[in-house]
Amino acid sequence: MTDSAKPPGRFEIFNTLGRAVQQFVPRTEGVVQLYACGPTVYDYATIGNFRTFILVDVLRRTLDALGYQVRHVMNITDVGHLASDADEGEDKMLAGARREGRTVWDIAQFYTDRFFADADALNILRPDVVAKATDHIDDMIALIRRLEAHGFTYVAGGNVFFDVARFSRYGELALLDRQQLQAGARISVDRSKRNPEDFGLWFTRSKFEDQAMIWDSPWGRGYPGWHIECSAMAMRYLAEQFDIHCGGIDLIPVHHTNEIAQAEAALGIEANDPQRWVNYWCHGEFLLVNGAKMSKSKGNWVTIGQLQEDGYDALDYRYFVLGAHYRAHQNFTMRALDAARAARAGLVSRVAALARAAGIDAPGAVADGGHAHPAANEALAHAAHDLAMPRVLARLWQLVKSDSDDPECTLRAVAAIDRVLGLKLLQSAASALADDTRSDPDVDALVRERDEARRRRDFARADAIRTQLAAQGIELRDAATGTVWQRAAALPERDR
């Protein structure tokens, strides 16, 4: 574990606010306050969603490995939101409920559970705080009241809006030029708004008669706008001003832009104030599927569960994601996933071989070697430079392929590197080693008989036994130390 007496290592991260890789300086020495936008739980999360959650996880692991104390907060959006401020489209939670004939509350619980099941399979660490929007309506109302007190709101058509014109820095994060935006280019604009960019803070008017999630508020019975929850919950569980806010790149132009507006307006942060609500904004690029964006609306989305049904381990997907830099597009194809699976398997088998060489039966228990090993040092340095995970992987491969006269030391370095990668390499190697000693009376008897036959050079009989076992899905390998067997991995092939 990291020596907490030492100051944290240097960390650099690309800041969307400023569009440059910057040296990370936390507000409080040695402590990182991190907020990540979580899932909307009206349907399964896609592998694209999880690309971003893996980014957050890697960020958190890297900061931790560098010696920072990280406090990680994530929201669960379990309240329905309309498709636009114009009260159009459909409420996603309601749509999910209608689709499945269940209540919105059931839907939220079900998909929240599914989300964490997938996240666990991907070895994504749980945030320190998971906050549900519906548990924090009071915090949102309090924040809206603060905005109201500062004169940043107005009521129109029964709904409370944020007045963008009052916030001069509006759009800075997204480099938006308000004059050039084609408002309503793709959707119609709510006529009651003063400016097209104004966004709802609290709605009391909805076209949905069966709106199940409504609460009392100073403005009437209704429900909160889309953006207020993250700001309210981040400020509640972190501090009013904190270090890093993460999300997908698609959140930049609207969600995060609006979050900055409402939070800085509420906090009274002036336009020329160097003190920001959040100092570092970190965004993950999109995952493409066969060259095109994956989205729920297009229907070309893939879930972790689907990959598992096809015989892949969630960690194969994690390896795939780690193979590309988080700020670059990444193209998901089954062929690329196959490559990731093969690569991860190769890594695990090399780690298992190191454990054998070191005489360690349970490599899962190997403590990481701190930063004693140069390879671990270099790998961590790559991670610390804007999360260059492809370089971390390359360094790991170099380490694992090098001849080592101290396999245990190498193993400790692997453990240290995997602390950042989160690929469970040591645990996986442990189960690979367990396979070495697997036994089954019937199979063992046949294997012994075959060995006898081979000794007699009765290869016809030996091959017959091998064929017989193969029919049962058992593969034999005649290693120098004797014959070992394993069940062939069942890998249903999907059309690709």
* Smaller CB separation from RNA, 70 or 465: 465
- Rounded to whole angstroms, the Cα distance separating 426 from 72 reads 25
Beta strands in 127-267 (DSSP E): 129-132, 153-156, 159-162, 199-203, 223-224, 242-248
Q: Nearest approach, Cβ of 399 to RNA (angstroms)? A: 10
Q: Nearest approach, Cβ of 203 to RNA (angstroms)? A: 14
* Smaller CB separation from RNA, 23 or 182: 182
* Smaller CB separation from RNA, 372 or 470: 470
Q: Nearest approach, Cβ of 340 to RNA (angstroms)? A: 7
* Smaller CB separation from RNA, 27 or 116: 116
Q: Which of 71, 72, 81, 236 binds RNA (CB under 7 A)?
A: 81
Q: Which of 7, 30, 89, 374 binds RNA (CB under 7 A)?
A: 89
Q: Nearest approach, Cβ of 212 to RNA (angstroms)? A: 18
Interaction with RNA in 397-436: which residues (CB under 7 A)? 397-398, 401
231 part of the interface to RNA, by CB under 7 A? no
* Smaller CB separation from RNA, 221 or 456: 456
Site residue total, RNA (CB under 7 A): 85
Choices 22-30, 206-214, 278-286, 421-429 (CB under 7 A): range interacting with RNA: 278-286
Q: What is the CA radius of gyration of the chain?
A: 27
* Smaller CB separation from RNA, 151 or 184: 184
- Rounded to whole angstroms, the Cα distance separating 135 from 75 reads 11
- Rounded to whole angstroms, the Cα distance separating 354 from 415 reads 12
Interaction with RNA in 41-70: which residues (CB under 7 A)? 45-46, 48-49, 51-52
Contacts 24+ apart (CB under 8 A), 357-361: 357/404, 357/407, 358/407, 358/408, 358/411, 360/408, 360/411, 361/433
- Rounded to whole angstroms, the Cα distance separating 219 from 141 reads 10
Choices 117-125, 151-159, 395-403, 441-449 (CB under 7 A): range interacting with RNA: 395-403
Q: Which of 198, 243, 285, 378 binds RNA (CB under 7 A)?
A: 285
Q: Which of 350, 412, 419, 424 binds RNA (CB under 7 A)?
A: 350
Q: Nearest approach, Cβ of 102 to RNA (angstroms)? A: 19
114 part of the interface to RNA, by CB under 7 A? no
Q: Which of 25, 239, 328, 491 binds RNA (CB under 7 A)?
A: 328
- The SS3 of residue 388 is coil
- Annotate 122-143 with DSSP letters as a single string: TTPPPPSEEEEGGG-HHHHHHH
110 part of the interface to RNA, by CB under 7 A? no
Q: How many CB atoms lie within 10 A of CB 116?
A: 16
21 part of the interface to RNA, by CB under 7 A? no
Residue 394, classified by CB atoms within 10 Å of its CB into exposed (0-12), middle (13-18) or buried (19+), is: middle
161 part of the interface to RNA, by CB under 7 A? no
Q: Which of 20, 117, 149, 175 binds RNA (CB under 7 A)?
A: 175
Q: Nearest approach, Cβ of 149 to RNA (angstroms)? A: 26
- Rounded to whole angstroms, the Cα distance separating 133 from 144 reads 15
317: left (phi over 0), alpha (psi -120 to 50) or beta: alpha
Which residues lie across from 245 on neighbouring strands? Answer: 35, 281
Q: Which of 11, 14, 226, 485 binds RNA (CB under 7 A)?
A: 226
Structure tokens at 185: 């280019």
Cα separation values, 137 from 36, 318, 415, Å: 19, 35, 43
- 292-293 and 31-36 beta bridge pairing: unpaired
Length of the chain: 496
Q: Nearest approach, Cβ of 69 to RNA (angstroms)? A: 25
Q: Which of 129, 130, 212, 343 binds RNA (CB under 7 A)?
A: 343
Q: Nearest approach, Cβ of 170 to RNA (angstroms)? A: 12
SS3 content of the chain, % helix, strand, coil (to 5): 45, 15, 40
Q: Nearest approach, Cβ of 5 to RNA (angstroms)? A: 32
Interaction with RNA in 183-222: which residues (CB under 7 A)? 183-187, 196
Q: Which of 268, 291, 441, 492 binds RNA (CB under 7 A)?
A: 291
305 part of the interface to RNA, by CB under 7 A? no
Residue with tokens 């619980």: 109
288 part of the interface to RNA, by CB under 7 A? yes
Choices 148-156, 249-257, 266-274, 356-364 (CB under 7 A): range interacting with RNA: 249-257
- Annotate 315-328 with DSSP letters as a single string: HHHHHHHHTS-TTS
30 part of the interface to RNA, by CB under 7 A? no
Q: Nearest approach, Cβ of 396 to RNA (angstroms)? A: 8
Phi, psi of 283, deg, nearest 5: -125, 140
